[in-house]
Structure formats: structure tokens, C-alpha cells
Amino acid sequence: MHKIQLRKNDLVVVIRGKDKGKTGKVLMLYPETNRVIVERINFSKHFVKADRSKNVQGGVMEKEAPIAVANVMIYCPECAQGVRPRSRRLEDGSKIRLCHRCETMIEKQK
């Protein structure tokens, strides 16, 4: 099991699967299974049964399902494509992530 290089709120692009080429924000990380949930990517149908006591209407809901970390890459806005991140230590001891291609800093999307 490897450490996941993604963080919450990172902008990623899907490189494999039915949603190839789409971009989205990382909502949740599952490091024990090497999976992430990305906003508006890999929808699955969830069937909900109606419950009158809880005032819940039944029907079909769609929600994001986890996707493998190997199928997404961090999106660099300068390069306009998915890139591998590099890390570098600054003089004050803090660590930053850089784009592997253009050497610009990759920041978390707010």
C-alpha cells in the first residue's frame, strides 16, 4: 500500500475508465483501499425505499462512487492536463508540490 499523493479539494483529471477526460474536485480519500471520491465522477445508482415514518420519499438516487487512485492525476491549470506532482522543500522548511512539467506550484482549489 502506497501513500496517496492527493489531498482533499485537489483538482484531478480522470485518465482511465468511463469518465476519461473529465475533471473534478477530490471530496474524500480512502487510503486503506487506495480509492478516492471525485465530485461529479463515477456516478452509481442507489435505490431508496420510501419510509413514511421518517418522511423519506422513495426512488432512484445517483451518488459518486469511489474510483481507484491509479485512474486519476492532479490537474495543472498551466499545462491544462494531468501531471505527476513533485515536492520541494523551501528555505523555511515547508514542503510545496510542483508540476512535473512546468515547475509551477500546485495549490489546493478552494
For residue range 49-103, list pLDDT tens digits in order. 999 999 989 999 999 999 999 999 999 999 999 999 999 999 999 999 999 999 9
**Which residues, including other chains, have CB under 8 Å from residue 92's CB and lie 6 or more apart?**
none
Report pLDDT for 37: 98
Give pLDDT tens digits for 23-63.
Answer: 999 999 999 999 999 999 999 999 999 999 999 899 999 99
Asked if the model's pLDDT at residue 1 lies above 90, the reply is no
Q: Residue 104 domain-assigned?
A: no
Q: Residue 74 domain-assigned?
A: yes
Categorize the per-residue pLDDT at 107 as very low, low, confident or very high, splitting at 50, 70 and 90: confident
Categorize the per-residue pLDDT at 14 as very low, low, confident or very high, splitting at 50, 70 and 90: very high
Q: Residue 1 domain-assigned?
A: no
Report pLDDT for 104: 92
Q: Which domain holds residue 76?
A: 11-82
Q: Residue 47 domain-assigned?
A: yes
Q: Residue 16 domain-assigned?
A: yes
Residues 74, 86: contact at Cβ < 8 Å? no
Distance CA 21, CA 33 (A): 23
Residues 23, 11: contact at Cβ < 8 Å? yes
Distance CA 14, CA 12 (A): 7
Q: How many domains does the chain have?
A: 1
Q: Residue 67 domain-assigned?
A: yes
Other CB atoms within 10 A of residue 36 CB: 26
Report pLDDT for 8: 95
- CATH for 41: 2.30.30.30
Residues 41, 67: contact at Cβ < 8 Å? yes
Q: Residue 106 domain-assigned?
A: no
The DSSP code sequence of 22-89 is -EEEEEEEETTTTEEEETT-SEEEEEE--BTTTTB--EEEEEE--EEGGGEEEEETTTTEEE-EEEEE
Q: Residue 64 domain-assigned?
A: yes
